[in-house]
A and B are shown apart, each in its own frame.
Chain A
Amino acid sequence: MRHALSIEPTPTTSSHTADAAAGQPVPYLQISDLWKAYGDFVALRDISLSIAKGEFICFLGPSGCGKTTLLRAIAGLDLQTQGTILQDGRNISTLPASSRDYGIVFQSYALFPNLTIEQNIAFGLENTGRSKESVKARVDELLGMVGLAAHGKKYPAQLSGGQQQRIALARAIAISPGLLLLDEPLSALDAKVRVHLRHEIKALQRQLGVTTVMVTHDQEEALAMADRIVVMNHGVIEQVGSPTEIYRHPETLFVADFIGETNQFPAKVVADGEIEIGHSAFRCPTGDFAAGDAATAVVRPVDIIPHGADAHAVNAADRPSTLQNLIDAEVTEMEFLGMFWRTRLTAPRLGERTLVADFSVNAVRRLAIQTGGVIQVEIPRERLLLYPRSA
């Protein structure tokens, strides 16, 4: 799945809400100092997080990182060991699930098999003092909203996975909850259906304006859907930010490696704005690093720019912006992945290590890149990221 990431995410139109969140005094959902321990195992470690009203948040991380645990704590299904959760100004930290205000969709859909689609959606509406007619009207409205108006009388088993998931969504939003929780809602579906449903959920969320938290381990899904992504690992939050921030400016090595692909090299900071990989110097922003610090230098395969056999040629079309970061490399392996070529390069200046670079089909044709050939590639100065490395 990761290769698809070489297409950079386009900034979502609603990312302004994320920016606005910082300025808002009272967030809709506020989690502070939250811990969850199972015996000696700490599943969540001092989590603090604010979510603005109407925001679409994704908890992203590898399995076992605590993202589902955090969602279940918000839902009141697994009580946190410590910490407070405020929803719309109300302290819900220890409230039972039934006293909180949310709708939830599980990976398994959890549709009631013996009830029809209509009865499933109506389940939360009945018993609340509504008239039969208003329940019926609301169910019809929801069925229309998820585009399954013709299927009301069927049973869940008669629907496809994607349709079932939409019913589960309709059932969750039927009671107009203030918060929508989605626990890996798409991971049981086929790739095509998943991409399609991704858009639908996002559109529905924008239409309703409901604050939404989605748990996923699929970075593509998170990048495509979220206003802000909360990247988690081993029970801690690694980074919170918009999809572009997370992708372009990963704050930790984990985030850099988890979102998209990386080439990693042990490096040493030589001076301000200059590092050493192997025995060669490269230009890059060094930030807080001091000369002599050990670091890990990271560059994404997609950020590496090919320059053909001789970038210094007078009429080279694309002159490198940073001459210092230009290296000679031999193409040892090429793999066609449809939208681009993945190449493995060996460069004497980088020592024994292999550099993975993704080149567009165009570039490969134009520069006549082929296995065994020697080309010049540029590691752009601002795309070379540094992370602390214990010596």
Chain B
Amino acid sequence: MSTVLEAPRLPFAAGKRLRQQSSRDDRIKLGFMAVIGLYLIVALGAPLFVMLSKSLSTYRFDLAAFEFQVSDETGANWGPVVSAEALNRELGAVPDGELSTNFDGRLAATKFFPQFSFRSPVHYRIRGTTDDTSFLVGSTLEKGTEWRDYDSGTFRRVVLRPARSLGAQNFVTYFSTPALAQSVYNSVLMAAISTVFTVAIAFALAYGLTRSCMPLKGLFRGILTIPILVPSLLPGIALVYLFGNQGVFKDWLMGYSIYGPIGIVIGSIFFTLPHAFLIILTALSVADARHYEAAASLKASKWRTFKTVTVPGARFGLVSAAFVVFTLVITDFGLPKVIGGQYGMLAVDIYKQVIGQQNFEMGAVVSVILLVPAILAFVVDRRMQKRQVALLSARAVPYSPKPNTRTDAICFAFACLVSLFILGMIAMCQIAALVKFWPYDLTLTTRNFAFDLMDGGGWAAYGNSIRLALLTALFGSLIVFAGAYMVEKADGFRVGRGIFHFLAMMPMAVPGMVLGLAYIFFFNNPANPLNTIYGTMTILVLSTVTHFYTVAHLTALTALKQMDPEFESVAASLKQPFHRLFFRVTVPVCLPAILNIAIYLFVNAMTTVSAVVFLYSTDTKLASVAVLNMDDAGDIAPAAAMGMMIFYTNVAAKLIHALIARGLLKRTQAWR
């Protein structure tokens, strides 16, 4: 025994280690992993890296780096060499503040020559003092320290280009702009308030569903998942109709405006509720009946049982739900865009900086700031989940509640109230979409569905959305499942698999807006060979698959983990190639999970706004973006109508999914 334990140095040379000869399977698997790893690097790692470097880049015209010489009227005799900086000091042509610019900044050289006339015979020379100094003549880029001669006519078209420097300057600028820095505070505040409300409501609902004998549990469960099927813009629109300037219930707000914090919180509760509800429901479902029996036998009061058994048992679920809600609210863009009014939020800031002001560096800065809480929430949540698993005991006895008239009635009433809230919002949109002019002319009309008459993309946008959703579901399921298989079942390549898994977990921490912006930086660069996909359906599919990668990956991983780890060994011993096992056993056994991944991707591709809002082109407008744009243009009723189209589509997709699942499962899952 001692001989083994006290052997820090192995008695054989490390260099002589054996290496297994690779089989054909190994090579194929390696190839697959490389392909999918490359996918994640191209679709996630590289764009984020480019964005990060963008946020640290500042652009400024370095006047000291340019030198001029002016000739006399003959064009032959040159005057003294002067730097642009010296000229500017003399003339004050460009104030210091205007020297800061973005990567696309241009400064006309003629600004430094007040007496310049493009008809004069005077010639001009220009050169840089460093090799990197660059300027444009028309659209031709010139660089370097060589003197270049231009006549007046050409010199008119000379523009200076800024120099790029790395540093945290952008962040300093950001935080010293009061309106922008205020957004950080606003976003955190809104997210925190929404989290408290949502988690409390979700917990009460989940408690009712797991610990009481209230009726219609299945129905409530269905109603509570409805918000997942609509874009987060939709509750905003519903709130505008209900409590907006022309809202029927405007008086309920007692003079406060729905446009701003109130609207954001109510809307956030609406669209985050299903997420929190499902997490907490899962946490409460694993309750061990033995704990309740013990509490009862010790004559603990109901309240004490609740405090000492129910809540602690679900605490990881509660924390997890809180983080998910917080992240969703702080990174959501659609809702504050519609209902936020003048209330600045981080995600909207990105949109305004990029689309409104074309200030990409500042957009990148906001993105990086937005990444911080998201990543933080993500890390804490992952930790929690790891501990949650350890808590589960295989010997737990499932808890089944006993009828209690009072508790059941309270739970039922509360569930009805929340369902009313959800259905009311949806119904409001439905009514708004179907009437002429809410609330003054309630004649039914289909006019609001004539999308082709409005800006936003028309019915083509709806068609595009369906295409996007189908393509995302198809390719997403393939890539995600194959990737998860490699992480879970490929032996060897430990480091590669670790990196791969890390990359797969990252999208959860990356808000959609940030991803979309990163894609602009990465793919809209002429030097990138993948530039051609910019503005196509491909980049939309790519971004959507990547945006929703993590949850799908975890679903696939969970299904694969339930498979016996020795299947691969058995297949190898029977000399069967891994793909035969994969298609004959792995895929059929995991089919339910694969179908769940597909429908998850479909629904999210239909409703997502944030990642694609930067990436669509005139040919690839999407329904969810159309909702945003029509709302922006004041066509609120058509926006609601389009939102409802998305809702119908998702409901239909869910039904079809259920049908397919049932049909397929009957054939492939006979063994269950």
Task: Give residues in A with beta carbon < 8 Å to B.
Answer: 35, 37, 40, 42, 45, 75-77, 79-83, 93-100, 102-104, 106, 108-110, 112-115, 123-124, 127-128, 155-157, 171-172, 174-175, 177, 181, 233-236
Q: Closest chain B residue to A106 by CB distance?
A: B566
**Do A82 and B17 touch (CB < 8 A)?**
yes
Cβ-neighbour of A175 out of B3, B575, B584 (below 8 A): B575
**Do B574 and A175 touch (CB < 8 A)?**
yes
B315 shortest CB reach to chain A, Å: 34
Cβ-neighbour of A37 out of B1, B10, B23, B589 (below 8 A): B10
**Do B7 and A113 touch (CB < 8 A)?**
no
Q: Which of B3, B8, B564, B574 has the most CB of A within 10 A?
A: B574
6 closest pairs, A vs B, by CB?
A124-B574, A96-B23, A155-B671, A97-B572, A110-B566, A98-B572
B388 shortest CB reach to chain A, Å: 25
B218 shortest CB reach to chain A, Å: 28
A100 to B574 CA separation, bound complex (whole angstroms): 10
A209 shortest CB reach to chain B, Å: 19
**Do B570 and A106 touch (CB < 8 A)?**
yes
A153 shortest CB reach to chain B, Å: 11
A112 surroundings in chain B (CB, below 8 A): 567, 584-585
Q: At the interface, yes or no: B16 with Cβ under 8 Å from chain A?
A: yes
A98 to B576 CA separation, bound complex (whole angstroms): 7
**Do A123 and B1 touch (CB < 8 A)?**
no
**Do B21 and A172 touch (CB < 8 A)?**
no
Q: Closest chain A residue to B590 by CB distance?
A: A114
Q: At the interface, yes or no: B144 with Cβ under 8 Å from chain A?
A: no
Q: Which residues of B (344-380) have their CB < 8 Å from a CB of A?
A: none
**Do B584 and A115 touch (CB < 8 A)?**
yes
Cβ-neighbour of A123 out of B7, B21, B564, B576 (below 8 A): B576
Task: Give residues in B with beta carbon < 8 Å to A.
Answer: 1, 3-4, 7-8, 10-12, 16-23, 25-26, 491, 564, 566-567, 569-577, 580, 584-585, 588-589, 668-672
Chain B binding site: helix, strand, loop or mixed by DSSP? loop
A166 shortest CB reach to chain B, Å: 15
**Do A155 and B670 touch (CB < 8 A)?**
yes
Cβ-neighbour of B580 out of A37, A104, A127 (below 8 A): A127
A291 to B26 CA separation, bound complex (whole angstroms): 61
**Do A234 and B1 touch (CB < 8 A)?**
yes
B588 surroundings in chain A (CB, below 8 A): 114
A175 surroundings in chain B (CB, below 8 A): 574-575
Q: Closest chain B residue to A92 by CB distance?
A: B21
A236 surroundings in chain B (CB, below 8 A): 4
B8 shortest CB reach to chain A, Å: 6
A113 to B567 CA separation, bound complex (whole angstroms): 10
B23 surroundings in chain A (CB, below 8 A): 96-99
Q: Which of A103, A106, A181, A235 has the most CB of B within 10 A?
A: A106
Could you list some 7 contacts between A and B, CB below 8 A?
Answer: A35-B11, A97-B573, A110-B569, A124-B573, A124-B575, A177-B573, A181-B573
**Do A96 and B4 touch (CB < 8 A)?**
no
Q: Closest chain A residue to B575 by CB distance?
A: A98
Q: Which of A76, A109, A112, A127 has the most CB of B within 10 A?
A: A112
**Do A96 and B7 touch (CB < 8 A)?**
no
A260 shortest CB reach to chain B, Å: 20
A201 to B491 CA separation, bound complex (whole angstroms): 31
Cβ-neighbour of B569 out of A40, A104, A128 (below 8 A): A104
**Do A76 and B576 touch (CB < 8 A)?**
no
Q: A42-B4, A96-B20, A110-B567 are in contact. Are A127 and B584 (CB under 8 A)?
A: no
Q: A82-B12, A175-B575 are in contact. Are A104 and B4 (CB under 8 A)?
A: no
A255 shortest CB reach to chain B, Å: 14
A108 to B566 CA separation, bound complex (whole angstroms): 8
B363 shortest CB reach to chain A, Å: 46
A128 shortest CB reach to chain B, Å: 8
B564 surroundings in chain A (CB, below 8 A): 106, 108-110
B573 surroundings in chain A (CB, below 8 A): 75, 97-98, 100, 102-104, 124, 172, 177, 181
A113 to B590 CA separation, bound complex (whole angstroms): 11
A46 to B567 CA separation, bound complex (whole angstroms): 30
A109 to B580 CA separation, bound complex (whole angstroms): 19
Q: Closest chain A residue to B578 by CB distance?
A: A98
Q: Which of B8, B18, B668, B669 has the most CB of A within 10 A?
A: B18
**Do B569 and A234 touch (CB < 8 A)?**
no
A115 to B672 CA separation, bound complex (whole angstroms): 11
A96 to B491 CA separation, bound complex (whole angstroms): 12
**Do B585 and A114 touch (CB < 8 A)?**
yes
B12 surroundings in chain A (CB, below 8 A): 35, 81-82
A82 to B11 CA separation, bound complex (whole angstroms): 11
A104 surroundings in chain B (CB, below 8 A): 569-570, 573
A123 surroundings in chain B (CB, below 8 A): 571, 574, 576, 584
Cβ-neighbour of A94 out of B7, B16, B19, B670 (below 8 A): B19
A171 to B22 CA separation, bound complex (whole angstroms): 25
**Do B26 and A96 touch (CB < 8 A)?**
yes
